[in-house]
Amino acid sequence: MASTGWTRRDFLKGSGVAAGALVLGGGVLTGCARTGGGGAGGGDPLAAARSSGTIQVGIAGEAPYGFTDQSGRVTGEAPEVGRAVFRNLGVGDVQASQVDFNQLIPALNAGKFSVVAAGMFITPERCRNAAFSIPDYIAATAFLVPRGNPAGIATFEDVKRKALGLAVLSGAVEKNYAQRLGVPDSQVQVFDTQNALLQAVTDKRAYCAALTNISLNDVVKKNPAAPVEVTKGFTPVIDGKAAVQAGAFVFRLADTALRDAFNTELARLHDNGQWIRITEPFGFTQDNLPPAGMTTEALCAGR
């Protein structure tokens, strides 16, 4: 069954664009050119961005976090929040580079861009290689299942017990969750796009697909004819601890001035209600705001 939803990768395949410019509000989507001033070789990327009026961010083409719509405009929760933050920091032109999700941190550290704006979850493993902002949002895990959920699954343990095929997104945390909760690798299939997850379920190559409920609700919204639904969101419990799913922006470990300035403005958006206004079109609500007391330091430590 053909999908009517689009991802960044679908757009590139359909248009033939590889490294051309695509509009991101007042900025563009470009190929992965090395950033000036704040690349891997040192310098102050915030000062450079203020001087030039431009900053490069990385996205992964995943709706609703950071993607290219059918008109060629880069949008999504993270790019739009990032644009608001950088506007308040005196940087009016945000340019976005597209890479595969699992290459975002390597490309960041290679100086391809200065910030990852892709809704990436904070995990101890990722914190060893990059610096995360304060939590931007929280999200629950869910499953995309055939309409009616005939197998009645609600957790990864259900998937394991019923020996069902599970589709996950390359580079995302759901594969790790499944493995740590005992789902055999033989039951897990990895795909590169959200539309491929949908296709796997509708073609019955996998019974279900795991991703955030925000992402899966977006898939269903864009594919109303698909005979699928999204299960109730949940937080996996691994080794007796809740696997809190908090997304954030990502910076190089050395770029503390940029991260700290970004954190100040992001917290202001959370507090003054602007974050809700910006993110509501992408399916986010007040429930997705990080709770008081949640810190990046604790999440990076696995607490």
Packing angle of the helix pair 77-88, 256-272 (nearest 10 deg): 100
Q: Name the residue with higher pLDDT: 194 or 132.
A: 132
pTM: 0.77
Q: Residue 42, class by beta-carbon neighbours within 10 Å (0-12 exposed, 13-18 middle, 19+ buried)?
A: exposed
Q: What's the mean pLDDT in 215-221?
A: 93
Same domain, 169 and 100: no
Specify the pLDDT at position 3.
35
Q: Is the pLDDT of residue 36 over 90?
A: no
Same domain, 13 and 129: yes
Specify the pLDDT at position 39.
45
Same domain, 175 and 268: no
Measured distance CA(44)–CA(54) in Å, rounded:
13
Q: Is 2 part of any domain? A: no
Measured distance CA(303)–CA(296) in Å, rounded:
10
Report the chain's C-alpha Rg in angstroms.
Answer: 19
Q: Is the pLDDT of residue 213 over 50?
A: yes
Same domain, 146 and 130: no
Q: What's the mean pLDDT in 238-245?
A: 89
Tens digits of per-residue pLDDT, 95-117? 999 998 889 999 999 999 999 99
Q: Is 94 part of any domain? A: yes
**DSSP summary character for residue 122:** P
Q: Is 29 part of any domain? A: yes
Q: What's the mean pLDDT in 45-49?
A: 95
Q: Name the residue with higher pLDDT: 120 or 3.
A: 120
Q: Looking at 208, 224, 242, which one is the last position of a domain?
A: 242
Backbone angle region of 252, left / alpha / beta, with phi > 0 → left and psi within -120 to 50 → alpha: beta
Same domain, 264 and 118: yes
Q: Looking at 242, 259, 276, which one is the last position of a domain?
A: 242
Same domain, 234 and 278: no
Measured distance CA(155)–CA(139) in Å, rounded:
15
Q: Residue 272, class by beta-carbon neighbours within 10 Å (0-12 exposed, 13-18 middle, 19+ buried)?
A: exposed
Same domain, 82 and 18: yes
Under DSSP, is residue 290 helix (H, G, I), strand (E, B) or coil? coil
Q: Is 3 part of any domain? A: no
Contacts of 209 (CB under 8 A, 6+ apart): 143, 144, 166, 167, 168, 197, 198, 200, 201, 216
Same domain, 21 and 106: yes
The two three-digit tokens of residue 41, written as one number: 């070789």
Same domain, 178 and 209: yes
Measured distance CA(9)–CA(121) in Å, rounded:
21
**pLDDT above 90 covers what percent of the chain?**
76
CATH number of residue 274's parent domain: 3.40.190.10
Tens digits of per-residue pLDDT, 274-292? 999 999 999 999 999 999 9
Specify the pLDDT at position 63.
86
Q: Is 1 part of any domain? A: no
Q: Looking at 223, 242, 261, which one is the last position of a domain?
A: 242
Same domain, 168 and 226: yes
Q: Minimum mean pLDDT among 11-25, 110-124, 140-154, 162-176: which range?
A: 11-25
Domain of residue 286, residue span: 8-138+246-300
Specify the pLDDT at position 20.
32
Q: Is 291 part of any domain? A: yes
Give the HSE-up count for residue 67: Cα atoms under 13 Å, Cβ half-sphere.
Answer: 24
Q: What's the mean pLDDT in 199-214?
A: 97
Q: Minimum mean pLDDT among 83-92, 95-104, 226-235: which range?
A: 95-104
Q: What's the mean pLDDT in 162-167?
A: 98
Under DSSP, is residue 36 helix (H, G, I), strand (E, B) or coil? coil
Same domain, 16 and 110: yes
Specify the pLDDT at position 56.
95
Q: Name the residue with higher pLDDT: 239 or 38.
A: 239
Q: Name the residue with higher pLDDT: 269 or 303.
A: 269
The band of 42, judged by pLDDT with boundaries at 50, 70 and 90, is low
What is the count of structural domains for the chain? 2
> For 230, phi and psi rounded to 5 degrees?
-115, 130
Same domain, 152 and 182: yes
